[in-house]
Amino acid sequence: MRGDDNGLQADEERSPLISTRFLVIATITILALAAASIAISLFGSAYGARLSLAGHSESTEIVDITIGRDRLAFPANAIRFEHQRRSGLAERIDLYLLWPEMTGYSAKERRRFDDLALSQSLVFLQISQSTMSRDMSGRVEPIYRSLLEPQTSEGPAGLQSHVFRAGTGYEGESLLTATAPDGTAYAIRCLLPSVAEKATSSDCQRDIHVGEDLTVLYRFSSRMLDDWQSIDAAVRAYVAGRSGPATATTTLKNQSKASTDRSS
């Protein structure tokens, strides 16, 4: 019996305090935790960078879009909404551009996009297929004139100010008109603030026709009205310079898509 006891005691002394199996499990666990930590760190960095962009994009990659009979090409950082930054058929596209540069988002100019106090820095564009035969200037006489008070007054930036009558659906708005240097009519609707400091980033809006069959509705702060001629020319040039006729096949596909969307 004593010999057996001595043998058992010797075996116990030779047995490792920590088994090989335990070491393997512990090592695997540590490696898994380390991998998880690295993954969380990388995800956190990527998510943080994405969060800091707040829906903006710094990419200048060109996005090709077809709207009706028009094909357009805009840099991704000029496209306002993330879900619209993909090539293909679309019913509309929304842009935001710095004024007067007419460029899209960049980290360097982030504050001008995000700070409401700098509302005079941006022009917003909404581009879609035309649904009306006349743009805003062309609607003044046949439509707006009967909705306006008879009296006019001197408005900002040399524009004539017309007030909409009550019950027209445009209460609180002013229609500002002028004759441009080239002799064409100009009209824009604004919610003019009582003081300039209360102006918003998009309290003036105007729509124009560009390209084959596009309506460009653009908005900007009433604090920018002094630049109304320059803004109108810049918007026209920006869209016209990045658009052209769509191919017949693409046009038919877009018409089919629009018909399907309306029926559903």
The DSSP-derived string for 229-242 is HHHHHHHHHHHHTT
pTM, entire model: 0.78
**Mean pLDDT, range 19-26, rounded to an integer:** 71
- pLDDT tier at 51 (50, 70, 90 boundaries)? very low
Cα 24 to Cα 133: distance, rounded to the nearest angstrom: 77
Q: Is the pLDDT of residue 151 over 80?
A: yes
Q: Inform me whether the pLDDT recorded for 21 exceeds 50.
A: yes
**Quick count: other Cβ atoms within 10 Å of Cβ 179?**
10
Question: How many Å apart are CA 111 and CA 94, to the nearest integer?
Answer: 20
Interatomic CA distance for residues 68 and 258, integer angstroms: 9
- Residue 48 clears pLDDT 60, i.e. is over it: no
183: left (phi over 0), alpha (psi -120 to 50) or beta: left
pLDDT of residue 50: 44
Span 142-170, average pLDDT: 96
How open is the CA angle 115-121-123, to the nearest 5 degrees? Answer: 115
Whether the pLDDT of residue 240 is over 50: the answer is yes
Q: What sign does the dihedral 167-172-178-184 (CA atoms) show?
A: negative
Q: Who's near 225: CB < 8 A, 6+ residues apart?
A: 156, 157, 159, 176, 190, 204
**Range in 19-23, 82-86, 109-113, 218-222 with the lowest mean pLDDT:** 19-23
